[in-house]
Structure 1
């Protein structure tokens, strides 16, 4: 009897640990390309949609199999652990059903099938709760292909966001500080230091988000956040870009074009900008836009090309690696982003497949433990134009999940001194 109880307790503990694991996005295999959420400006960062709005996600399968894909939607709390809600409490209808809508590529050298999922649809009639979500796609055999995070919000509080220069003189030339207030005139936020949580994003990149801020003080109905170092981001630099909307034409970013099995675009050589003065160059903050100037239907007529990157960087890497970085693959570091050293040219090179369009990218140093230094090659400058978002979560006493009750945005184009 005792052994039986011990076994049950052991199983219970293991089960609890499994279900308490934080949600991790699973990157797609190489045959899945160009994952996009509609309504997301320039595909820059984690999608944040209003409760009740339509959700649309699309992607390409480049293996030409016209395979079947299935999707599942799960709800999570602020820290990305599974919430206590059952499926029917946050979802009207069903998930774990097949994506029924896709089109095959037209007039392209690289064949692919373009899949697109819209919610609400016939099976999944809508999402009914705000919060963090993970949508997971699997194949016919139930194997997970990839997953992506998104956030559903309500508009119950107003969030004012200001961008400041750092107070620390050692970082005043490099950092941007996010200060904000949360105003809740119609809803009392009980015990805000415990029940209100915030997610602070630079250019929508959830992988570098600040998540541990609590209100410093209250004035009337406002919660005040006036941090310095704790809410600081490296300013970074404006992203590099390339534009291959005209697949046969070189331009100020593409040096040379070759046609083999696919079109290959060779970019001009980039250099280390960390020790150079800041220069303004408009970007879309790490995002991308799919486009082909000769196509009517961009989704299925935009071609896939092989883009060649070339970087001159003369600093010792030691145990670090250089990778290209941007929202073209959801800020994921993997084998397709690795820059290999070419002794003949004394430069670091990469060749990766992209769908035609306009893309932002930068070079980053990646340490052995996976930590990323975004400013090592590009530099960190307080003048850099960045977008910032503050997502506000609240769990009222007795609630069983973390609601997203507001969103505030700001830009460093309006950065000020203290």
Structure 2
């Protein structure tokens, strides 16, 4: 999935269409429902639930930012409805001040805000995007998707795993849902649409092409086998809570460098991946204490001689919005014999993968995975209703569910 801004294309399973990824100066992005930072960015319309936005800016000076909101349809196109239909109050949150770090360069300020609040309230359900701009210049820095649901009707969801059915004989997951619709829906077969997302990769949403409206008050929907999700999608874990040699993952730590250098044990194709169980976030879990440090983390990958410079191997993870960018492209080091790249990452815990490009818009992040074995996955099902009066997509239900052992 790609997003575009000023003609530039970005490749990431996380980015939805027209989403702008964060620049190199913005780090440790988080957007989650208040309560725990592992919550997905989903709130119920009219409820007291709030979303938390947090991020760091690498800077010696405190900044000021403007946050605005847009409403979108189920495919992330602008819904083209007036602002006062979906927003109560002023479409603006001013965020400034920030907490300065106490230890170690690079210097950064940590920013955090929550919404809806007294200034901004959402009047309708649907897909939303927040946009963060520099207050002084007006330049848009990044955007993030979130969801407001009505919690109308009832939904149950489950996964059926089919083994040896994938392109590489891997297992595939077919998510299923049953939706009992509320009384106001008169023509469900025309006005409802259904979507699934795997592991919160919002940009890799898939519309259900199979549905059954034979029962009067409910419908069932699911993905076909040809459109199913890989059941062997796995992640590698990165533990940077303590910046010290641990003999396991961190094999070298050089605090005298600015920023400090962390060298990781090499990842070996089809051998060393340790799939992360209980994965629950697109953003990782960066530490928010003011004495938390950033380190220049060097990743090293042994591909067994399978790839060339022309093909391009990329490091993608929740510390870089799962973005295939030139800054995270691995280069072959003849001295070490590994593909290597470095990324500036804050103390905390994260997940990552290696990926290759397929054509101009394709991402293959399974070709370098260790396993064809089924792994636990998280899924989200969405039910949208085309409002017959106002002609926008209402988000009636969102259901988060997981596969199990």
Structure 1 residue 61 corresponds to structure 2 residue 57: yes
Structure 1 residue 128 corresponds to structure 2 residue 123: yes
Shift, 1:235, TM fit: 2.2
Which of 293, 296, 300 is the matching residue for 1:303? 293
Shift, 1:45, TM fit: 9.3
2:33, 2:391 → 1: CA distance? 30
2:35, 2:329 → 1: CA distance? 27
Which of 311, 332, 335 is the matching residue for 1:341? 332
The residue that corresponds to 1:187 in the other structure is 183
The residue that corresponds to 2:142 in the other structure is 146
The residue that corresponds to 1:238 in the other structure is 234
Shift, 1:58, TM fit: 1.2
Rate the CA distance shift 1:251–1:156 in 2: closer, same or farther, 3 A: farther
| TM-score of the two chains, using structure 1 as the length reference | 0.83
The residue that corresponds to 1:392 in the other structure is 383
Check whether the contact 2:266–2:301 (CA below 8 A) recurs between aligned residues.
Answer: yes
The residue that corresponds to 2:367 in the other structure is 376
The residue that corresponds to 2:404 in the other structure is 413
Check whether the contact 1:250–1:257 (CA below 8 A) recurs between aligned residues.
Answer: no
1:227, 1:76 → 2: CA distance? 23
Aligned length: 383
Rate the CA distance shift 1:285–1:323 in 2: closer, same or farther, 3 A: farther
Structure 1 residue 353 corresponds to structure 2 residue 349: no
Rate the CA distance shift 1:331–1:189 in 2: closer, same or farther, 3 A: farther
Check whether the contact 1:159–1:406 (CA below 8 A) recurs between aligned residues.
Answer: yes
Shift, 1:41, TM fit: 8.8
Shift, 1:109, TM fit: 2.8
Shift, 1:193, TM fit: 3.3
| Residues 281-317 of structure 1, C-alpha deviations (whole Å, 9 max, x = no match) | 53525641123xxxxxx34321111111011112134
Structure 1 residue 178 corresponds to structure 2 residue 175: yes
The residue that corresponds to 1:92 in the other structure is 88
The residue that corresponds to 1:28 in the other structure is 22
1:32, 1:150 → 2: CA distance? 19
Structure 2: any 5+ residue segments left out of the alignment? 1-15
| Residues 156-191 of structure 1, C-alpha deviations (whole Å, 9 max, x = no match) | 12222211123774656331221221122x335333
2:307, 2:185 → 1: CA distance? 51
| TM-score of the two chains, using structure 2 as the length reference | 0.86
1:249, 1:379 → 2: CA distance? 25
The residue that corresponds to 1:15 in the other structure is none
Check whether the contact 2:234–2:275 (CA below 8 A) recurs between aligned residues.
Answer: yes
Shift, 1:95, TM fit: 2.2
2:88, 2:350 → 1: CA distance? 36
The residue that corresponds to 1:160 in the other structure is 156
Q: Please report the RMSD computed on the Cα atoms of aligned residues, expressed in angstroms.
A: 2.6
Check whether the contact 1:175–1:234 (CA below 8 A) recurs between aligned residues.
Answer: yes
Check whether the contact 2:179–2:218 (CA below 8 A) recurs between aligned residues.
Answer: yes
The residue that corresponds to 1:13 in the other structure is none
* Greater Cα shift, 382-391 or 159-168: 159-168
Say which structure is richer in helix: 1
Which of 249, 252, 255 is the matching residue for 1:256? 252
Say which structure is richer in strand: 2
The residue that corresponds to 1:78 in the other structure is 74
Which of 207, 213, 216 is the matching residue for 1:211? 207
The residue that corresponds to 1:294 in the other structure is none
Shift, 1:81, TM fit: 1.7
Check whether the contact 2:27–2:319 (CA below 8 A) recurs between aligned residues.
Answer: no
Largest Rg, 1 or 2 = 1
2:199, 2:353 → 1: CA distance? 13
